[in-house]
Amino acid sequence: MTISLASTDALLIVDVQNDFLPGGALAVPDGDAVVPVLNRYIGLCDRRGLAIFASRDWHPENHCSFKAQGGPWPPHCIAFSRGAAFASLLEIPCSAGIVSKAQSADRDAYSGFQGTNLEALLRARGATRLLVGGLATDYCVLNTVRDALARGFQVLLLRDAIRAVNAQPNDGDRAEQEMLAGGAHPIAFCDLES
Ligand SMILES: [Zn+2]
């Protein structure tokens, strides 16, 4: 099955930041494997003139999701730190829109739509279908896809460009099943008309 891209498609790259890669503060196993695959999607979408957005966790030092504040996670993605930077090999074009989330100390946001203007940015570009990949399948990708579907966007889930934390075994599989049951359509790069 070949999928043709349309001008109403947009690429949404979720949280591909150093702290979520192997060696980072909150590493997703095999997380760096998404980078070369996402670069292929970026290249294709950029050549087609499609909108490209990248979300990022962008926390203050005392963020509520950190263990010292009673949250579940070690400190990660502190704004302007090296750990918060996008993966150095990720080829995000300068024209891409950057969406920072969970910037206030008292709120966390797994979804790129939560507390951001992402929906308005997508609507302004005329996007109706989103190609979504990044990290991690069972947290920020899942919640971003949930919110996209709830807002009426179609979603192509880039199954070759996501990786899961799997804090509990099979969390990633369960997240994928939920996204597909909710209406997301799974694809791999080879499914796209080049
Ligand atoms: Zn975070």
Tens of pLDDT, residue by residue over 2-57, are 999 999 999 999 999 999 999 999 999 999 999 999 999 999 999 999 999 999 99
Percent of the chain at pLDDT exceeding 70: 100
What parts of the chain have a pLDDT lower than 70?
Answer: none
Q: How far, in Å, from the CA of 76 to the mean position of ligand 1?
A: 6
* Alpha-carbon span 50 to 52, nearest angstrom: 6
Q: Is 67 annotated as catalytic?
A: no
d(CA 172, CA 141): 10
186 CB burial (10 A radius; 0-12, 13-18, 19+): middle
User: In the prediction, which pLDDT does 187 show?
Assistant: 98
Helix 142-150 with 171-181: angle, nearest 10 deg: 10
Q: What is the mean pLDDT of the chain?
A: 97
Question: Would residue 15 show up in a list of annotated catalytic residues for this protein?
Answer: yes
pLDDT given for residue 89 in this prediction: 98
Report CA(108)–ligand 1 centroid distance (Å): 7
Distance between CA atoms of residues 66 and 131, nearest Å? 30
Ligand 1 mean position to 58 CA, how many Å?
A: 7
What does the pLDDT read at residue 133? 98
Cα-Cα-Cα-Cα torsion 67, 73, 77, 78, nearest 10 degrees, comes to -10
- State residue 6's pLDDT score: 97
Could you say which of 19, 77, 108, 140 is catalytic? Answer: 140
What is the Å distance from ligand 1's center to 6 Cα? 32
| Ion ligand 1: residue ranges with CB closer than 5 A | 57
The CA distance from 71 to 46, in Å, is 38
Pairing of strands 129-135, 154-163: parallel
140 has catalytic annotation: yes
Query: Among 101, 138, 147, 160, which one carries the catalytic annotation?
Result: 101
CA 51 to ligand 1 centroid distance, Å: 25
d(CA 116, CA 89): 26
Beta strands in 58-171 (DSSP E): 97-101, 129-135, 154-163
Query: What 3-state DSSP class applies to 157?
Result: strand
| Active-site residue (options: 15, 19, 32, 138) | 15
183 CA → ligand 1 middle, Å: 26
Distance separating alpha carbons of residues 59 and 146, to the nearest angstrom: 22
Looking at residue 194, its pLDDT comes to 75
Buried b (16+ CB within 10 A) or exposed e, 47-63: eeebbbbbbbbbbeeeb
**Predicted local confidence at residue 164, as pLDDT:** 98
Spacing, Cα 110 to ligand 1 middle (Å): 7
